Amino acid sequence: MKHGQIRFFGLFSVVLGLLAIAFLTCAGLGALTVRKASVYPGKIRVLTANSNHMPAWSSSWQLPDQIADVLPSEARHIEELRRLWLDTARSYGYELVMPPMLEHIESLLTGTGEALDLQTFKLVDQLSGRTLGLRADTTPQVARIDAHLLNRSGVARLCYCGPVLHTRADKPHATREPLQFGAEIYGHAGPEADLEAQMLALQGLRAAGIKDLRVDMADVRIVSSLLAGTHIPVKTLSRIHAALAAKDSAELSSLTASVKDMPAVSREGLQVLLQLYGDAKVLDEAVKALQPNELLRQALQNLKWLASHVEAHAAVGFDLADLRGYAYYSGTRFAIYGHGAELARGGRYDEVGAVFGRSRPAAGFSLDLKELVTVLPPRPLKAAVRAPWVENTALSAVISQLRTSGDTVVCVLPGHEHEVNEFDCDRELVHSNGQWTVTALATSAENR
């Protein structure tokens, strides 16, 4: 064999070897990709992988898509927000309830609409054989508590804070495990309950650090007044609501044309709704452009009244075609925006308790604390006292007294004196003249 041929086959063997190594890498560790965590975009990065190509050992630390661990800084901030919201709700007279994470599917979903059904994880109870659901929304559970367990004749103010699970995230970059806070007021049909829900939501958001807030309002009864007397299949009605929310004129026209008994004035009214968004002038335009009836008059009158009270606390806008959210809403609806994001959503849902045998007027709102924390600046490290690890009765007594008074005291284990943690130790316990005293520490976070 000639020298040139030997050299060619040698290079060919090297290339084949490199290709083989690359293939094995892609089949194993090469299948790993890095993506931003969906709960805290830009803050936490997690590894994901194609399960068909990952080695078995790697699956033990993988999390499902759009599910993420919450690390100490964010967890501390979320817990502070949870306490803030519960304290704010209590200052309005709301009582805390804690519904279970799972219930029989009939209790969770009856009367709530298809959207909530699709969002709910379902499983079989091994004790009874019945189908259970992991809650995707807490409002139906609170309605059950009001209807059956409390059974009060007057006004009941209830609040809650706990995780919910979604089969699919309700918006891009959102978690499928929101930490939902909500407040509900039962037993009052007047707009005063709607106003209280909005004012509580605004006060909580301001206390959390959101300053420039905007409230967008709508009312389900406006669309209901246009569709009164028309028989529309449930799926078609859901698609009409979606087309209105998306401002999709072509889709809306196609859907309304498929409903044979829908009057022309209703079709035209729905198309007009697509243009009715903006400031308070929208309400006057609606009076002129839509076919007048009592239901429409009441809805527009309530929106005007609410806006007149809220505008002193936040910017107010209207989108009369906005029907986003679950199907149990029956009247006024609102969404609160700040820092470029939707932060809270609520409204009136008078029929939510009907499936439990007790239909009561109800209004309220909910929000996701995990989403709220992403639009707020990180909290500074918590100031703390550093203490040495010494077996000393006097030192233990001083540490106990400091902790009882509300101070955080971090005992530094031997060999870990220079490690950084979630606390800014700006003071330290020093033994001087036979006593343990707290003194300022020069190397606090400000000097590092």
Q: What is the DSSP string of 385-425?
A: EEEE----HHHHHHHHHHHHTT--EEEEPTT-TT---SEEE
Contact criterion met (CB below 8 Å) for 183 and 203: no
Q: Alpha carbon 162 to chain centroid distance?
A: 11
Mean pLDDT of all residues belonging to the chain: 85
User: Domain 70-209+346-379 is in which class?
Assistant: alpha beta
Q: What is the mean pLDDT of residues 210-231?
A: 92
pLDDT digits (tens, 9 = 90+) for 374-412: 999 988 888 899 999 989 999 999 999 999 999 999 999
Give the separation between CA 287 and CA 293, rounded to whole angstroms. Answer: 10
* Domain 70-209+346-379 shares a fold with domain 211-338: yes
Residue with tokens 């000393």: 392
3-state secondary structure of 432: strand
Residues 6+ apart with CB under 8 A from 119: 136, 137, 166, 167, 168, 170
Burial of 182 (0-12, 13-18, 19+ CB in 10 A): buried
pLDDT value at 36 more than 60: no
Cβ proximity of 99 and 138 under 8 Å: yes
The model's confidence at residue 17, banded by pLDDT at 50, 70 and 90, is low
Token match 């918590």: residue? 382
* 13 confidence band (pLDDT: 50, 70, 90): low
- Residue 38 pLDDT class (50, 70, 90 cuts): very low
Tell me how far apart the terminal alpha carbons of the chain are, to the nearest angstrom.
70
Q: Where do the structural domains in the chain lie, given as residue ranges? A: 18-69, 70-209+346-379, 211-338, 382-447
Multiple choice CATH, 211-338, 3.30.930.10, 3.40.50.2020, 3.40.50.300, 3.40.50.1980:
3.30.930.10
Pick the range with the lowest mean pLDDT from 269-278, 291-300, 415-424. 415-424
Q: Is 359 left (phi over 0), alpha (psi -120 to 50) or beta?
A: beta
Q: How confident is the model at residue 287 (pLDDT cuts 50, 70, 90)?
A: very high
Angle at 139 (CA atoms; ends 134, 143), nearest 5 degrees: 110
Helices and strands, counts by H and E, the chain: 14, 18
**pLDDT for res 381:** 80
pTM, rounded to two decimals: 0.81
Handedness of CA 375, 376, 380, 382 (dihedral sign): negative
Report the distance separating Cα 423 and Cα 364, nearest Å.
37
Quote the pLDDT of residue 163: 97
**Is residue 178 scored above 70 in pLDDT?**
yes
